[in-house]
A and B are shown apart, each in its own frame.
Chain A
Amino acid sequence: MIDAITANHAAALAAKLARVEVAAVYPITPQTTISEKLAEMVSRGELNARFLLMESEHSAMSALIGASYVGARTFTATSSHGLALMHEVLMWASGVRRPIVMPVAARTIGGPWNIWGEHMDVIAERDVGWMQFFCENNQEVLDTVLMAYRVAEDPSVMLPAMVVVDGFILTHTVDAVDIPDQRLVDEYLPRFDPPVKLDMERPARLGGLIMPDWWMEFRYRIAADMEGAKERIKQADKEFSRIFGRGYGGLVEEYGTEDADAVLVVAGSAAGTAKEVADRLREEGARVGVARIRVFRPFPSEEISRLGSRKMVGVFDRSYTFGDGGAMFNEVRSALHGTDSIVKNYIGGLGGRDVTAAHMEWIFRDMLEVAERGLDRKVEWVGLKDGSGRW
C-alpha cells in the first residue's frame, strides 16, 4: 500500500512491521513523532509491545539492554542531546552484543541551542560499536529499519544499529512510501532468537567483569563481527530486493561514477540534491558522479577505495569534528590512500541550513577545477555568509 507519510511515521510503521516486543521512549525534537506514532499503535492494539515511558534517553537505552538480554526485540528512537546522553550505554549495548535498532533523527548538538538538522550527533557516536545506516528518503527509512533488524540479529553479527534520518528534512516531510505487507515482512525477518540470553534453567552472569587476560579477545570478536557485517548487509539488501522489489546497492550506492572524473561522496538526504545536479551537469558534458555512503559503520573501505581510479573525490560532511577536516572526509581519504585520486573536503548544511542545488553545483564545478589544476585547499566550508570558509 502506498501512503503519503513522514519519515518518522515510516520509522514507527517499520517498528510495528518488525513486531518489536519492548519499546522504551523519551521525547526529543525532531524524533518525538516516532514515539507518538508508536504510542498510538500500542494503545490501539495494533502493536503488541510493552511500551515504557522513560525518564531520560540514558534510561531508555538501559531498559532496552535489559529487555534484549531477556530475548525481546527492542526499539527506541532519539536525536541530538538524547543520543549524546546515551553515549555510555551505547557502548554497553554493543559491548554486550544486544542487537537494538534505533532510528536517530540527526540533529545538531548545543550549545548554543539549535534544534535543526545536521549529522554531528551521529558522527560523534561513530566509534561506539553500532552499525550506522544513512537514509536518503522516507521509503529508505522504513526499509532500512527492517534490514537493520535482520543484520543486527544475525547470530554472526549481534551488534546494534542506528538508522540515520535527516532531522526535519526527512523526519517532518511527507513523501510517498510503499508500506509492505506484514506477510512479506514476516518472511524477510525471522523471529528474534539470540544465541546468548537470560536462561532461568541455566543461570549465568551476563556482562560481568572481564580481566585483562580476556578483554582483548572480546574486543577482537566485536571488531571481526563488525567486518563480517559488511557481507551480511549486502545479503540483506539482495534478499530485500528479492522479496520487496527494491534494493539500495549494498553499503555504497554509486550514481554515474563509472566514467566520472569527479565523484562526490555524500550521506543522507543531500545525496538526492547531488544526484539531480550531477544529471544536469552531465547534460553539459561534465563527467561527474555521486557515491552515497549508506553504511558508515562498518566503513565501506573496499567500495571507497575502488573510487581511487577517478581523478578527484570530494567528500561532503554535514558535520564538523574539529580535527584535521571532517570525519567522513578523513575515513574516505584513508581508504583512498595509495591511489592517485585528489581528495577534498566540503563542509555544509550545518544547523539546518539548506543544502541547495546551487551549493551542489558550486561543489561539482570546484571539483572539476581541482581535477584539472590540482588541490587548492583541503577543507572548504560551503555557503558561509562571507565566503571565507576555507583553509
Chain B
Amino acid sequence: MSDGERKGRFTIPHEELMYPGHSACPGCGEPIAMRMLLKALGPRTVINIPAGCCAVIPGVWPRYSLRVPMIDHAFECTGATSSGIRAALDVKGLDDVTVVGWAGDGGTVDIGLQSLSGAVDRGTDFLYVMYDNEAYMNTGVQCSGATPCGAWTTTTPAGKEMACRRGKKRILEMMVENGIVYGATANIAYPEDLIERVRTAKSIRGPKFLHILSPCPSGWRMDPSKTIEAASLATRTGMFPLYEYRDGQYRFTKEIKNLKPVEHYLRLQGRFKHLTPAQVAEIQDLIVGELEVLKAKVEAGRK
C-alpha cells in the first residue's frame, strides 16, 4: 500500500494525456496501460511504435488520440528507432524528453529482439515497454514467443495434445543479462504499482525495460468486462508475478503469498477451455517451478 492509499488521497495523477475516441476493441488492455504510462511520464514524452494493435489504436490519419508526439516505424526496429530519436533529441538539447519505445509481445520477443538488444547494448537512455497480450493479436491471434503454455491460438489449434507446450520467453531476464539499468513487470489491474514502476524507470538514466500484462478479450476468448479480473488473477495465481530489477537485485513488488489455484485464471478464458484437469495440473506445476526460480533470484539479491 502506497502513502497515498493510506491517507485516502488520489494516487493516480489527474492529468489526461490521452483523448477519448481511440479505436481499441472493447475491454482492450493496451489503452489502459498507455493512459497510465502517460499519467506517470507527463507531456515531455515521445513514443515510437512499430506495427501491431498499437499502430491502430491511436486513430487513423489525420485523427490522433494522444497528447504527446508519436513516431511510427517498421515492425522489427523499435529499439533502433528509439536510439535514433534519443540521439537527435540530445543534439537538439531536448534531453529532458523521455523516449518510450512501445511494442507488443511479438514485436519485442520475436521480430524486434535484435533491435531491442542493440539499443540496450548501446546504452540508449530510453524506456522500452512491451505491452503483452500474449499473441499476434492484430493479425488475428497467432502464437508468439510470449504465448503461455497451453493457450489456444490460430497457429496452435487445440487438439488432443496441449498446444504450445513451452513457457513464455523470459524477456525481462534476457534484458537484465543484456545490460538494462532497470526492469520491471507491471499489470493494468494494479495501476498505482504500474505508475510507480514507470516513475522509477523515468528517474534512472540508461536503457529501461517494462513488461506490462495487457489482456486481449478477443484473443483470450473472454467477455470484455473480464479484462481487469483476468489481469488481476494472472498476478494472484502467480501466472504473472510483479517484480523489479535494479542495481543487480530482483525484488517482488507484490509479495507472492496465498496464491490462488491457476484454474481460476484459466477457466475465465476460452483460449484455455480445451485443457484437461491433468493439463491444468501441468500448468500449475510449471508456474510453481518458474516462481521458485524467481524467488531464488530475489533471495540471492537479499544476501
List chain A positions with a Cβ less than 8 A from chain B.
Answer: 21-22, 24, 49-50, 52-56, 58-60, 62-72, 74, 88-89, 92, 96, 198-200, 203-211, 214
Q: Does B61 contact A58, Cβ atoms closer than 8 Å?
A: no
Chain B 21-65 per-residue mask, 1 if CB under 8 angstroms from chain A, else 0? 000000000000000000000011010100000011011110010
Q: Which of B1-9, B90-98, B192-200, B275-283 contacts A (4 or more CB under 8 A)?
A: B90-98
In order of increasing CB-CB distance, the 8 nearest A-B pairs are: A66-B84, A63-B84, A55-B118, A62-B77, A70-B88, A59-B80, A207-B72, A50-B87
Q: Does B114 contact A59, Cβ atoms closer than 8 Å?
A: yes
Assuming the contacts A66-B48, A207-B72, A209-B60, asked whether A52 and B83 have C-beta atoms less than 8 A apart, the reply is yes
List chain B positions with a Cβ less than 8 A from chain A.
Answer: 43-44, 46, 48, 55-56, 58-61, 64, 66-74, 76-77, 79-85, 87-92, 94, 97, 114-115, 117-118, 121-122
Bound-complex Cα distance A88 to B75 (A)? 10
28 chain-A/chain-B pairs, Cβ below 8 angstroms: A22-B87, A24-B83, A24-B84, A50-B87, A58-B115, A59-B114, A59-B118, A62-B84, A63-B83, A65-B81, A66-B80, A66-B88, A69-B71, A70-B89, A72-B92, A88-B74, A96-B72, A198-B69, A200-B43, A203-B66, A203-B69, A204-B69, A205-B59, A205-B64, A208-B70, A209-B60, A209-B72, A214-B61
Taking the closest CB of chain B, its distance from the CB of A213, in whole angstroms, is: 9
Most central of B46, B48, B70, B80 by chain A CB within 10 Å: B80
Chain A residues with Cβ below 8 Å from B81 are 62-63, 65-66
Chain A residues with Cβ below 8 Å from B60 are 208-211
Assuming the contacts A55-B118, A205-B58, A205-B64, asked whether A63 and B72 have C-beta atoms less than 8 A apart, the reply is no
Bound-complex Cα distance A88 to B77 (A)? 11
Taking the closest CB of chain A, its distance from the CB of B78, in whole angstroms, is: 9
Q: Does A209 contact B114, Cβ atoms closer than 8 Å?
A: no
Interface SS majority for chain B: mixed
Q: Does B74 contact A200, Cβ atoms closer than 8 Å?
A: no
Interface SS majority for chain A: mixed
Chain B residues with Cβ below 8 Å from A65 are 73, 81, 84
Assuming the contacts A55-B118, A64-B84, A206-B70, asked whether A22 and B61 have C-beta atoms less than 8 A apart, the reply is no
B118's partner among A54, A204, A207, A211 (CB-CB below 8 A) is A54
Chain A residues with Cβ below 8 Å from B122 are 52-53
Bound-complex Cα distance A68 to B58 (A)? 22
Q: Does B71 contact A206, Cβ atoms closer than 8 Å?
A: yes
Bound-complex Cα distance A54 to B114 (A)? 10
Most central of B44, B84, B85 by chain A CB within 10 Å: B84
Q: Does B55 contact A62, Cβ atoms closer than 8 Å?
A: no
Q: Does A70 contact B85, Cβ atoms closer than 8 Å?
A: yes
Taking the closest CB of chain B, its distance from the CB of A51, in whole angstroms, is: 9
Taking the closest CB of chain B, its distance from the CB of A88, in whole angstroms, is: 5
Q: Does B61 contact A59, Cβ atoms closer than 8 Å?
A: no
Bound-complex Cα distance A67 to B81 (A)? 8
Q: Does B117 contact A55, Cβ atoms closer than 8 Å?
A: yes
Bound-complex Cα distance A357 to B15 (A)? 73
Bound-complex Cα distance A69 to B79 (A)? 15
Assuming the contacts A66-B88, A71-B92, A204-B64, asked whether A55 and B72 have C-beta atoms less than 8 A apart, the reply is no
